[in-house]
Structure 1
Amino acid sequence: AVKNLNEMFVDPDGDVLRFRAISGAGIAAEITGDSLVITPEPDYFGARTITVRAVDPSGASASDLFSVTVTAVEDPPNIAAFPGFIQFPRDTIVTVNVWDFAEDPDMPDSLLAFIFDATNDSLLRDFHPQTGLLTLASFGNFSGDVDMTVTAIDTAGNSDSKSVLVRIDAVTGIDDVQNSGVPTRFTLSQNYPNPFNPITRIRYNLPKSATVQLSVFNILGEQVVVLVDQKQLSGRYEVAFDGSQLSSGLYFYRIVAGNFREVRKMVLIR
């Protein structure tokens, strides 16, 4: 701010002066009391000239020019969009494209550095800076919750962090070993057991992130329950379905994940 404009503009008659500021694009200039307040717009840098005009009660005026230079400052990266909760079974791995959730107005995501700190080393973290892919897995037989902090750092040292809760589920059911690795295609497996009473498990695979809806329908085509309705990361998933509130009979379960759709049958016997 430029203060004491009354000392810079002197009226020989001692009249009270009124001031007006005129600025160009990228800079806002206003008069507050006897001060010129200059505020650059977000992400603006460069040189501008501001005109200040002083006017006395008779309408006589005088002007002066102020040169203003705004120095560029790198904005920090932003990773607020990174998922705050990640869940996967112990016998699988999850791959996240970190670049999909990071942004920096001053540089491409590939130039950002990332740090993945965890409260438990049983959460394995493998990041490939050439591709932006983060792989998460469980060490040994560990299952439980782990707090992970994701930090993005730009070349100027500016940073942004996001806290993530990672939940690793214990495997209790079918195909504990054979279904390891990152899926290569969308699949919906047959529920197990089938027929069931009253609980069965449904597994599906996502080769990439997608908005997933997994629903159950009765024989009339009426939706009876939605088991999943959210965006999920690539990986292998298992959902338990409790049919204790339903009558015996034939049911259908359907998955919609991006352009992938599939329907399967299951039988509830009470």
Structure 2
Amino acid sequence: MSFVASNPIKNGSSIIIHGAKIEEITLTGTLNNGKSIILKHYGITDVPEEKSNSVPTEFDLSQNYPNPFNPSTTISYAIPTDGFVSLKIYDMLGKEVATLINEEKPAGDYTISFNANNLASGMYIYKISSGPFNQTKKMILMK
């Protein structure tokens, strides 16, 4: 693969080259001071795949991981349409102990971390609400 700049390359500018398997890059061009430049780079053999931009087709609230946890855990969820999302944590008496999300979100898959350093060991409930979707799950904090 080779690239020839049609205009002088300005100081501080960058050129991005995308490809599935690039084994060698040769860049030839002229700097804005009139000097020629040839840049060769070898050894790029793999480029990570881009994440899919697919939108989930249904609401989902996953079980936190790890569970039991100490002191932090991860909660994943999916929303198929743009909308207001609320994700809250409650103790077993129904008292709200944390609000993780309380805002508009575009459709997509999400992961959020919850740190329970300031809470006592025990079972907690996490609840997501978004449009018509409401779901709760249990998690256990073991200190």
Q: TM-score, normalised by structure 1?
A: 0.35
Q: Aligned equivalents of 2:83 and 2:122: distance in 1?
A: 31
Q: Name segments (4+ residues, structure 1) moved above 3 Å.
A: 139-142
Match of 2:98 in 1: 225
User: Could you say if the C-alpha distance between residues 187 and 121 of structure 1 is closer, same or farther in structure 2, counting changes exceeding 3 Å?
Assistant: farther
Instruction: Work out whether 1:197 is the aligned partner of 2:87.
Output: no
Q: Aligned equivalents of 2:91 and 2:58: distance in 1?
A: 28
Question: Any unmatched runs of 5+ in structure 1?
Answer: 1-119, 123-138, 143-176
After superposition, the C-alpha distances for 1:118-171 in whole angstroms (9 at most, x for unaligned) are xx979xxxxxxxxxxxxxxxx9478xxxxxxxxxxxxxxxxxxxxxxxxxxxxx
SS in 1 for 2:84: strand
Q: 1:183 is aligned with what amino acid?
A: P
SS in 2 for 1:191: coil
Q: 1:258 aligns with which of 121, 131, 141?
A: 131
- Structure number with the bigger relative contact order (C-alpha 8 A, sep ≥ 6) is 2
Structure in which a larger fraction of residues adopt helix: 1
Q: 1:233 is aligned with what amino acid?
A: P
Choose 1 or 2 for highest CA Rg: 1
**1:1-270 correspondence runs (5 A):** 140=48, 181-270=54-143
After superposition, the C-alpha distances for 1:12-60 in whole angstroms (9 at most, x for unaligned) are xxxxxxxxxxxxxxxxxxxxxxxxxxxxxxxxxxxxxxxxxxxxxxxxx
Q: TM-score, normalised by structure 2?
A: 0.64
Q: Aligned equivalents of 1:180 and 1:267: distance in 2?
A: 33
Q: Aligned equivalents of 1:204 and 1:191: distance in 2?
A: 10
After superposition, the C-alpha distances for 1:65-92 in whole angstroms (9 at most, x for unaligned) are xxxxxxxxxxxxxxxxxxxxxxxxxxxx
| Identity across the alignment (%) | 39
Give the superposed CA RMSD. 2.7
Match of 1:69 in 2: none
Q: Aligned equivalents of 1:195 and 1:180: distance in 2?
A: 32
